Amino acid sequence: MIMSIIYYLTFMVVWSLVTIRLMLRRHKYREAAVFGGLMTISSIIGTLLIARVNLPSMTVPFKIVFEPFGKMLLMR
């Protein structure tokens, strides 16, 4: 399992660096920053999933944010 995590991270880092360098050469700085952030988050989540760590549901933050609006609309 450790080797698969290492292979996954190596692939993600190499692919991200190549893509970010391409974006920087084309003067797309914002896109490179967003891409780097998304790839970092996806790499962390991917390694946790490979390691079979139970992650909490991704819908909980959305429920916390949008539930008050729904209740407010239903009150009217």
pLDDT tens per residue across span 10-25: 999 999 999 999 999 9
Sign of CA dihedral 36, 37, 42, 48: positive
| Best CA proximity match to 22, nearest among 41, 14, 7 | 14
The predicted structure's pLDDT at residue 65: 87
The mean pLDDT value for 6-10 works out to 95
Q: Is pLDDT above 80 for 76?
A: no
- Say if CB 46 and CB 15 are below 8 A apart: no
Q: Hey, how many other C-beta atoms are within 10 angstroms of the C-beta on 24?
A: 13
Angle at 34 between CA 3 and CA 22, to 5 degrees: 75
Interval 30-67: pLDDT, tens: 999 999 999 999 999 999 999 999 877 778 888 888 89
Q: How high is the pLDDT of residue 17?
A: 96
